[in-house]
Structure 1
Amino acid sequence: MTTVDLASMPSEVARRHHDDAPVHRPRVVRRASRDTRDSMRPRIRLAMIVFSLAFLTIIGRLVSLGMMEPVPGNYGVNPNDAIATGRPDIIDRNGEVLAADIKTASVYGEPRNIIDPDEAAELLVTVLPDLKVDALRKRLSGNAGFAWIKREITPKQRQAIHSLGIPGIGFLTENRRFYTAGPTAAHILGLVNVDNQGIAGVEKYVDDQWLADLHAAGFARGEELDPVQLSIDISVQHILHDELAQAMERYSAIAASGIILDAHTGEVMAMASIPDFDPNNPVDANKPDRLNRITAGVYELGSIFKSFTFAMALDSGAVTMNDRIDATNALRVGRFTINDFHGKHRVLTVPEVFIYSSNIGSARMAMKVGQEGQQAYLRKFGFFDIPKTDLPEVAAPMMPKKWSDLTMMTIAFGHGLAVTPLQVAIADAALVNGGKLIPPTFLKRSRAEADKLAVRMVSEETSRHMRDLFALNVEKGSGRKAAVPGYNVGGKTGTAEKAVAGGYSANKRLNSFLAAFPMDDPQYVVLVVLDEPKQAKDGGGATAGWNAAPTVEAVIRRTAALLGVKPRTIQDGVVLVSN
């Protein structure tokens, strides 16, 4: 057998010899690869099944976690969830912004990411000295995911804290409520808490009506919201607030309050109660003397209540304008005696009973109507119920425990039944607007909308008689100091001794004046109440004709033109309106 040395052969010969040689290895390799693939297929299928099951398990777990209620805890807290919610602007009837959200910074900590709580607390207190270092250190310790440090800090404080470079300290931009008029309309607008939630006034009304539900559903947290338009005119509101503040100082009163009401729509054009508070810094808001006395205070308002006694007597037919009432002598009921403050000690005509504000005459008129009739009329006027309004701060009337003959007589001239001034203004509007009671509102309302809500209280004839009596009282009676040339003001004074333990105080009074104008076609009702006013330094008396009446005069003189009432004169019984 011949041996060939391929290595010694030329390369080309060797390559040809190699190529010509029979090779069986490829066939063996192909058979081995096919067998391997066949054996691997079950394993691949099993792996695919395992991975598919694992993937389905993960998806199922994610879905179940997504449907679970969140568990309260400190981990996984999103700081943005703590941001105060957004609120709609509040505007007056002319579109002037009264309340709006502004952006402000707040600082928070993530305790689990704070390396040294002691150092962090001490550094933060150098910028925020009103914080207690021990309390702050405790708040920043532990594994909590989120903790407020301080809400509503200044831009300067934010920059100073940022410059400290403390790990785990962050900032959020929040909504903060700003009230453009400050205290001027505080009792109407109300205020919000630190989370921008309404807690008083119109702010709370908006939350109770729809905003809180919208926020709870996850909506309206950053979107633009339509503004809430009020009935008030902020220019008129400023004037009322200013005149009440001046009256309170001039007559050394402990409080002053007032309201201007549209007689035909029930819209509150202005309302103020002093002392008040600044909703931008409401540190005094909860003081007892800062309540809204127009809606949340109840009082025995004295002689202005005679207006309703007259309307009741005239409308029931028990008395006519031509009748005469004997006021010669005091009325004695058991051990009690009813006298007149400035008694004439004679028989009086019905208009004289009104302009002389006779307690005796008013009591005799109530006797003609009777207890049941009196209660029916007062119930119709709404004096037995809590007034329905947009403000949550509304008080219930204080009713007499027993409705005796004495109760009937004293209520006839304004003692024995305590109601809110708002109720009196609403009822008085019904006396002068043709006899229709219209629920009050602090939201803008049209005349057509008001007409649908109106309920007849007295006849148009009775309403006309009441307008005549009001006008006569300002012309010749106790309301002369409320007269405003050109505006035909009418009204009724009320000087009520304040109820104290064991009876009534002889030197503490609640003085009021209830007015409407112009009396030939009443458009607005004005009520001013002064609590414990004293004699002015420039002289005069301490009764309502000397303080509450001139305060109403000042309010009407300054607001009539803004309210769109044109001056008028009366010649030969004809009203001439100025252009």
Structure 2
Amino acid sequence: MTDRNDNKTNPPSQRRFHIFIAIFAILGLGVLVRYGVLMLSPSGSTGNGNTGQPFVERGPILDRNGRILAIQTRLGNITIWRPDIEDQDVLSRDLAPILNMSPELIKSKIDSGISDFVYLKKQAEQSTIREIENLKAEGRLRGVGIEAIVGRIYPEKRLASQIIGFVGNENNNGLGGIEYAFESELSPPEAKSRGGSGNQVFLTIDANVQHILEEIAERTRLESRAEAVMFIAMDPRSGDILGSASLPNFDPNDINSSSELSRMDRPAIWSYEPGSVFKVFSISALMESGAVGAGSTFLCDGHYERVTNRGERIVISCLSAHGRVTARDIITYSCNAGAAYAADRLSATPFYDLLQNYGFGTRTGAGSPGETVGFLRSVDRWSERSKPTIALGQEIAVSALQMVQAATAVANDGVLVPPRIVSRIVSPKGEIIRSYEGGQGRRVLKAEVARAMRSYMVDVTSEIGTGWRANIRDLSLAVKTGTAQLIDPVTKGYSDTDFVASCIALLPAESPSLILYLAIIKPKGEILGGRIAAPPIREAAETLVDYLGIPRGRNPQISHSGSISLPQVISPIVDTVVPNFGGYSKRELLPLLLRDDLHLEISGNGWVSRQSPAPGTPLNEDTVIVLELE
């Protein structure tokens, strides 16, 4: 009887409910305890504090002159503890200008949290943290906290962003670009197991050249209303990529706001039919074989026409009837019919071999992850139409990197030099671990063929050539323009609206030390490369010639021994007290960033204008020196 009465008083379902409540309370208490531990931890909840994992200082990425493009630094997550907020409206107004957020957005973030603890902004920079700390010292911003983390920052923001790449949310693994390709150098396995610093990766990129290219490319993209623009500057003698713009781009400091398209390193990854610029390589290959000579002539009556042995009629249109044309005329006028008839002089297999020798159909190995091989079908898959069509720059797909690589053979009197983006790996102590010397050059053309092609390309900038808009009065440019149709993904045929307008230039034409290549993808309105791609090439050449010190035709040249003395870079001495950093440049401060016993935060460019702590402040192991450059 007693048992039956107890069962009626406390049925099994009610007992299970009480057990559930008890378990839930224990779990809730565990969460609160864990949260308390994290909040009391001096290193915060993310990263390299009391996690048991050794701290790894990810190595920096720098341009060829030592300009910092990516570096590890101390950041902070801005947090909110809602029970401590006194007035949400006042708090939101005070934080808005500091966090660059509207008061309404701040309030919505605070209200949207499912717990009293809310992340307001992650990876805030030191300047933001200092402003918040100063206001908190005045007794304001109650409820606002700062969670210290180690983060990756990119001081130049969007500059060369697709090349540099980005890291994951924990700032410890490269997920794109050089950050990904050189993960084992920037964060070596031994550093991950024992702690310490990663190596420095120096690029061939010149940040100033990159800025010039990106500025011109962005203006070109807006004016042409294009989907994207690629612009490359390369030294053909060494293979160094001095700049490689790909627009639209992204800010790796704010990866969550980027799109897959903006993160794409188009010059390395994207393949496309190059159009008439390719005639530089097809015609020079035909000349190299001996099938076409300087005196060879072909009749252009406005189109190319041939009937195959099987009765198939092949017709290729030309912009106009050029009459009798030589190899020089084919390049100058960009004559489709002449190029197609010239290709008939050589059988398919040797033509294919010569194009493959330029590097088409294989990766350049420049150092960009995910690089495309392009598209060059084997001869057994060619149709009767393939050879004349490829000679025009159709039925073959290339990358922009492949195009500038092939252009080195024309620039270097026949010797092809592979491109490179990384120049060297340097240890945290400043010792060179590995140098990436320019790739082994190989002869692709006879010297006389390369020189003849450059002279043909100079005529392209004459009044009768397609690239006259690229002409510079006191500088000789070897130029070729092109316009290519893109494949319509729906019809699988050539699109009537989507084109790639392009232009390539070697300068100075007599002995090139710079290659420029521009491709405008899907422009709206005007589509011809000679009209919309040649002017930006001229603008870039005018600027870069002066910046790189390339002599113009009418500029006097001074001879000297070639030996100069450079002043030694002397860094400030840091021992027991904080020195006066005023007036020091970022280059002079760079060696200090490699010291494990110092914690420096550097923002801006130029020379140190402000510092904290003040000169003479005693140093200890927790001191963080903040330097602002202008």
Q: Which residue of 2 is the match for residue 492 of structure 1?
A: 480
Give 2:321's aligned amino acid: G
- Determine which of 253, 257, 262 is the counterpart of 2:230: 257
1:295–1:434 CA distance, 2 compared to 1 (3 A): same
% identical equivalent positions: 25
Unaligned runs of 5+ in 1: 1-73, 110-116, 141-147, 536-540, 570-575
Q: TM-score, normalised by structure 1?
A: 0.73
- Determine which of 340, 345, 357 is the counterpart of 1:363: 340
CA distance in 1, matches of 2:229, 2:85: 47
Q: Aligned runs of 1:536-547 on 2, under 5 Å? A: 542-547=527-532
CA distance in 2, matches of 1:243, 1:378: 31
Secondary structure of residue in 2 paired with 1:493: strand
Secondary structure of residue in 1 paired with 2:182: helix
Secondary structure of residue in 1 paired with 2:502: strand
CA distance in 1, matches of 2:292, 2:205: 39
CA distance in 1, matches of 2:203, 2:248: 23
CA distance in 1, matches of 2:56, 2:215: 34
The structure whose residues are more often helix, as a share, is 1
- Determine which of 342, 361, 368 is the counterpart of 2:320: 342
Q: Deviations over 1:14-40 (max 9, x none)?
A: xxxxxxxxxxxxxxxxxxxxxxxxxxx
Q: Deviations over 1:356-393 (max 9, x none)?
A: 11112111222222211121112211211233122214
Q: Report how far residue 119 of structure 1 moved.
A: 5.9
Q: Which residue of 2 is the match for residue 7 of structure 1?
A: none
1:118–1:139 CA distance, 2 compared to 1 (3 A): closer
- Determine which of 376, 382, 385 is the counterpart of 1:403: 382
CA distance in 2, matches of 1:313, 1:134: 68
1:412–1:102 CA distance, 2 compared to 1 (3 A): same
Unaligned runs of 5+ in 2: 1-33, 49-54, 93-105, 425-434, 559-630
Asked if the contact 2:58–2:186 (Cα under 8 Å) also holds between the matched residues in 1, the reply is no
- Determine which of 194, 206, 231 is the counterpart of 2:182: 206
Asked if the contact 2:483–2:527 (Cα under 8 Å) also holds between the matched residues in 1, the reply is no
Residue 501 of structure 2 is aligned to residue 482 of structure 1 = no
Q: Report how far residue 288 of structure 1 moved.
A: 2.8
CA distance in 2, matches of 1:216, 1:505: 51
**Paired residues, number:** 475
1:409–1:122 CA distance, 2 compared to 1 (3 A): farther
- Determine which of 46, 65, 72 is the counterpart of 1:101: 72
Q: Which residue of 2 is the match for residue 88 of structure 1?
A: 59
Q: Which residue of 1 is the match for residue 588 of structure 2?
A: none
Secondary structure of residue in 1 paired with 2:71: strand
Q: Which residue of 2 is the match for residue 218 of structure 1?
A: 194
Secondary structure of residue in 2 paired with 1:280: helix
Asked if the contact 2:361–2:376 (Cα under 8 Å) also holds between the matched residues in 1, the reply is yes
Asked if the contact 1:275–1:289 (Cα under 8 Å) also holds between the matched residues in 2, the reply is yes
Residue 421 of structure 2 is aligned to residue 442 of structure 1 = yes
Q: Which residue of 1 is the match for residue 150 of structure 2?
A: 175
Q: Which residue of 2 is the match for residue 454 of structure 1?
A: 441
Q: Report how far residue 106 of structure 1 moved.
A: 3.7
Q: Which residue of 2 is the match for residue 61 of structure 1?
A: none
1:286–1:360 CA distance, 2 compared to 1 (3 A): same
Residue 252 of structure 2 is aligned to residue 268 of structure 1 = no
CA distance in 2, matches of 1:397, 1:479: 26
Q: Aligned runs of 1:394-433 on 2, under 5 Å? A: 394-400=371-377, 402-433=381-412
Q: Deviations over 1:85-144 (max 9, x none)?
A: 4222222222222222221124799xxxxxxx996999999887575878754999xxxx
Q: Which residue of 1 is the match for residue 272 of structure 2?
A: 299
Q: Report how far residue 189 of structure 1 moved.
A: 1.5
Give 1:440's aligned amino acid: P
Asked if the contact 1:266–1:450 (Cα under 8 Å) also holds between the matched residues in 2, the reply is no
Deviates more, 1:278-287 or 1:493-502: 278-287
Q: Deviations over 1:188-224 (max 9, x none)?
A: 222222222321112222214562424432333xx4x
Give 2:273's aligned amino acid: E
Q: Which residue of 2 is the match for residue 11 of structure 1?
A: none
Q: Which residue of 2 is the match for residue 466 of structure 1?
A: 453
Give 2:449's aligned amino acid: T
1:348–1:88 CA distance, 2 compared to 1 (3 A): same
CA distance in 2, matches of 1:121, 1:465: 77
Asked if the contact 2:64–2:203 (Cα under 8 Å) also holds between the matched residues in 1, the reply is yes
Q: Deviations over 1:386-437 (max 9, x none)?
A: 3312221422313448312211211110111111111111111112112222
Taking only aligned residues, the RMSD between alpha carbons, in angstroms, comes to 3.5
The structure with the larger Rg is 1
Q: TM-score, normalised by structure 2?
A: 0.68
Q: Which residue of 2 is the match for residue 69 of structure 1?
A: none
CA distance in 1, matches of 2:184, 2:313: 51
Secondary structure of residue in 2 paired with 1:562: helix
